[in-house]
Every structure is written in structure tokens, then in C-alpha cells.
Amino acid sequence: MTWFNKSFDELTTTELYEILQLRQSVFVVEQTCPYLDADGADTHAFHLFARDQSGAVVAYARLFLPSYETPYSRIGRVISAGSVRRQGLGRELMQRAIAWCEQEAPQVPIRLGAQVYLRRFYHDFGFREISAEYLEDDIPHVDMERGS
């Protein structure tokens, strides 16, 4: 795997297209969840992604640094392609996302909105629930935070 982490302006149009294609294939098609993936937040995010040996984008996470409105880092849109699941790539993706957030904004909590069925996965990285369960696009979620 080859890893990249780029701001929106650093992404090529091809990279952006491939990232959006992966996100839509998993979140919209595979999870049968029609929602607006291009939510306007990508321009403010960093985009962590991996390419396999064939050059395909197979893992992705969208990262946000703290701001005045949100005094914590955020990790979102965490996905891996179906072809590479159960090979540890999701764990490596989260390790890299957490390490980047901690490096760029030390001693700041990291938050994410987790699909409930992945709660234990995120617990393994030190995340704890900070909200009750709620529906987002008809999928049960819970907000989680990893302390500073």
C-alpha cells in the first residue's frame, strides 16, 4: 500500500474522483443509503487514502483539524473497499488518522460519528461514547471521542 494525506487543494481531479467513487460505492450503493456525500466539507478537510499495487484507492478517511467552532479534531468517512476488508487495512487507516490528528493538534480530543455496529472497532482505539444513539441517514450512529 502507498499512503497519501492531502489537503483538498493538493488533490488532483483524478484523485478526488476516485475518492468520491469509493465513498459513493460503499456509503450510497453498498449500504443502500441515498444521501448527499458531497456535503461541502471536503474543501476544509485533509484526505488520507491508500492505493493498492494496482493503483486503486482502497482506503480513505476525511480529517479535520480543530477550529473555533469545533475545539477538537474529527475523523470521518472512514472506509475500505470491499476487496481489501478483513486484511487489517481499516486498523492501519485508523492508526494513521489518529497519529496525524495527534501530530497536527497535540493534546486535543478527536471525535467521530460511528455507525453503531462499529462501536467496538473504535473502542479498540480508545474512543468512548459521548452521545446517545441517533439515526443519521436511517443508520444508527453514536458520537465518540478519544481523550487528549
Give residue-wise pLDDT tens across range 8-34. 999 999 999 999 999 999 988 888 888
Q: How confident is the model at residue 148 (pLDDT cuts 50, 70, 90)?
A: low
- Asked whether residue 51 is assigned to any structural domain, the reply reads yes
Q: What per-residue confidence (pLDDT) applies to 89?
A: 94
- Asked whether residue 37 is assigned to any structural domain, the reply reads yes
Q: What per-residue confidence (pLDDT) applies to 83?
A: 85
Q: What is the grid cell recorded at 57?
A: 484507492
Segments forming the whole domain that contains residue 50:
2-111
Number of domains the chain is built from: 1
Contacts of 4 (CB under 8 A, 6+ apart): 15, 47, 48, 49, 50, 51
Percentage of the chain beyond pLDDT 90 is 83
- Asked whether residue 13 is assigned to any structural domain, the reply reads yes
- Asked whether residue 119 is assigned to any structural domain, the reply reads no
Q: What is the grid cell recorded at 136?
A: 443519521
Q: For the whole model, what pTM was predicted?
A: 0.94
For 44-71, the pLDDT digits (tens) are 999 999 999 999 999 999 999 999 999 9
Q: In a 3-state reduction of DSSP, which class is residue 74?
A: strand
- Asked whether residue 116 is assigned to any structural domain, the reply reads no
* CATH code of residue 11: 3.40.630.30
